[in-house]
Amino acid sequence: MKSLGKILGLVILGLLLILVAAGFALTHLFDPNDYKDEIRDLARNNAGLELDIKGDIGWSLFPWLGLELHDTTLASAQTPGQPFADLRMLGLSVRVMPLLSREVQMSDITVNGLNLTLSRDEQGRGNWEGVGQPAGRREQAGEPPKAAEPQTEQREEASPARKPLTLDIDSLTVSDARVTYSDAKTGQQYSAESIELTTGAIREGSSIPVKLNAFFGSNQPVMRARTELQGALRFDNQLKRYQFEDMRLSGEASGEPLQGQTLTFSAQGQLLVDLAAQIAEWNSLKFTANQLRGLGELKARDLDKEPKISGAMTVAQFNLREFLQGTGQQLPAMADGNALNRAELVSRLSGTANSLALEELTLKLDDSTFTGRIAISDFARQALRVDLKGDRLNLDRYLPPPSKDEPAGAARKSEVKNTQAAAVGSGSTPLPNAPTQQAWSEASVLPLDQLRKLDSEVSLAIGSLTAMQLPLEGFNLKARARNGQLNLQELRGGLYGGRLDSSASLDVRQAQPLLTLQNRFNGVPIERLLESQGEEVVVKGLLNLDADLRTQGNSQKAWVDNLNGKVGFIIDNGVLVDANLEQQLCRAIATLNRKPLSSEPRSKDTPFRELKGNLTLRNGVASNPDLKASIPGLTVNGNGDVDLRVLGMDYRVGIVIEGDKGAMPDPACQVNERYVGIEWPLRCRGPLELGAKACRFDNDALGKVAARLAGEKLNEKIEEKLGDKVSPELKDALKGLFKR
């Protein structure tokens, strides 16, 4: 038996020696470089691949089946002259014996100097098309599939289940690799350069350390980013479950959108893709972008259909102004240089491949807090949907600061200032001249191209809003924009104890935008409106106004020049500031009495119960035929024009004594019965800023009043002289002579 054992041992040893000798002979006596042409033909005919091996082929047979390629290029057999890949060196080896049991045990895989260049031509054909197709299939490309495919499936179903392929690789190393993609039709180019990839042992079900470094770039827009990715990969092919544990991504980005600035970013968390359940998750998400810091989670479902995204996000308080400036975003000038200093956000997320919504949103911006929803319902159309409620917002902080006057505005202000200086006094100075200087800018106001593309629906409810220095309480706004038509469906709020209600529309589909506006004020103190706009208070009282206006153009001047419509107004329980109409009336009566005034005015203002009228606007000029003011003891009637182009007015005003013959401010203007019911004429002309201070006693019209009073006085004397001595018909005829 011992002899038999020795014999068997010697036989086995002999066989091993023969195998080793055969392997040595094959690897040393057989040179695969002699068969490069045959290898090219096999690759071309069976894989549709044009293989050009310029360097040497190294190989080993047992116990490792090894292969090493140098200076190799790859191209599609359809475009052999356009290689899509070249390789400096590829080295790999597979243990031979485990292959017999469908186990792939590989040592280190090394890839060096891979340059993968993918491109599409103007017809959309890729330079990699045809790879993987045998010659026969390439010749029949475009033909309908034959009935052989179901038979293959049947054979596969009928064949007994085989042991699944098991993968076992000691490591993978990719160095100095480069991947580029270009599209001739769109001109877009993308690249990944200086790719360095290293992994630990790759075994199913085990944690595989992974580290990747690369530089990414694009040309539309020009961008470049340095990235580093590391973590642990775990996969289970049977369960179709893939995990990336303790994933950490970091890097820096720069380029055109960042305007020369650098964005430092990072993200980390636990990634899971379960293809059996068609879900993906990113848990324990942490992300940064410069000074922005956030937490969250993301989930995706229906990966095989239309993926749907859900999750949550929290962004800690950060300086939004510094963040935007640090990412190259040019902020417009704002009235408050400290605006956008604080921002934070909490929200749930939902979306699809073409939409994203921030639900259950809480947004804090400076001193304001908003809750609600912000969404982009269609990325392609940039369709914005906003539904927010807020506690307070001072919008003026974020608007541009007051600009310096343009030449037209400066010239007009100078003209008004000179007019105001000449208008001082109690109506004794000459009548001011009508203004002539243009009051409005010709600069374009609306970004028409952006407005034409706008697709948005906005609903805002803010407890306290300040806009254009107007404090609006219980503010509500609803607006919609689509296809070049913008509609302000509702804008309302409390204003100084009164109400403001507005609606408007803007049509920007044509070169000259069309604007319509409906505006209503109810019980709003007009002096507070004037004060808020920095205007001098020339009238006080509660304003009730109803305006229906329309215009066109894209500048202040164009809007005023083309302004048409109607305005009705009533001012209750008011005061004409620094305008004593009683003193003006006194001056007129004293003139008729031929007596000089001997005292100063008792008051600078004129109170009234009601001031009302209607305006008809035609191309920037408002005609007012029915101005009426009710003053204790007096009625004021007026008609005239307001030229909004130069903010000037020209009115003829009549003051009627209603029978109150109480003490006048001066003995020289005592009222008698003959003055009751007579309309005493005033002329108001000058800048609107002067208000009633621009009114003067009308000497020309007063002459007619004097003539009328003289005729009435003569008629009284005729009555006294004639008495009952003549007939009534003759008396009337004589009186009529003096009334003409």
Per-residue pLDDT reduced to its tens digit, 702-711:
666 655 655 5
Answer for the pair 527, 563: CB distance below 8 angstroms, yes or no.
no
- Give me the pLDDT at residue 735, please: 43
Answer for the pair 650, 641: CB distance below 8 angstroms, yes or no.
yes
Q: Which DSSP string do the residues of 146-196 spell out, in sequence order? A: PTHHHHHHHHHHHSPP-PPPEEEEEEEEEEEEEEEEEETTT--EEEEEEEE
For residue 682, give every residue at least 6 positions away whose Cβ sits within 8 Å of its Cβ, in sequence order, or none.
581, 584, 652, 653, 654, 655, 695, 696, 697, 698
Tokens 């005061």 found at: 575
Q: If 0-12 CB within 10 Å is exposed, 13-18 middle and 19+ buried, where does residue 705 land?
A: buried
Question: Whole-angstrom Cα distance, residue 394 to residue 317?
Answer: 20
Tell me what the pLDDT averaged over the chain comes to.
81
- Give me the pLDDT at residue 513, please: 95
Integer angstrom CA distances of residue 451 from 137, 165, 517? 53, 59, 18
Q: Which residues sit opposite 293 in a β-bridge?
A: 288
The structural domains of the chain, with segments of one domain joined by +, span: 32-126+167-203, 494-713+720-736
The CB-side HSE value for 575 (13 A sphere, CA atoms) comes to 9
Answer for the pair 683, 652: CB distance below 8 angstroms, yes or no.
yes
Question: Whole-angstrom Cα distance, residue 416 to residue 321?
Answer: 40
Q: Which DSSP string do the residues of 373-390 spell out, in sequence order? A: EEEEEETTTTEEEEEEEE
Helices 699-722 and 728-739 meet at what angle, rounded to 10? 160
Those residues of the chain that have pLDDT short of 70 are 1-32, 34-36, 58-66, 94-106, 132-167, 403-428, 580-603, 659-676, 698-740
pLDDT in tens, 264-277: 999 999 999 999 99
According to DSSP H, which parts of 215-351 are helical? 320-326
- Give me the pLDDT at residue 702, please: 61
Helices 581-593 and 699-722 meet at what angle, rounded to 10? 50
Integer angstrom CA distances of residue 21 from 14, 493, 531, 636? 10, 98, 106, 128
- Give me the pLDDT at residue 316, please: 97
- Give me the pLDDT at residue 526, please: 93
Answer for the pair 635, 656: CB distance below 8 angstroms, yes or no.
yes
Question: Whole-angstrom Cα distance, residue 428 to residue 432?
Answer: 11
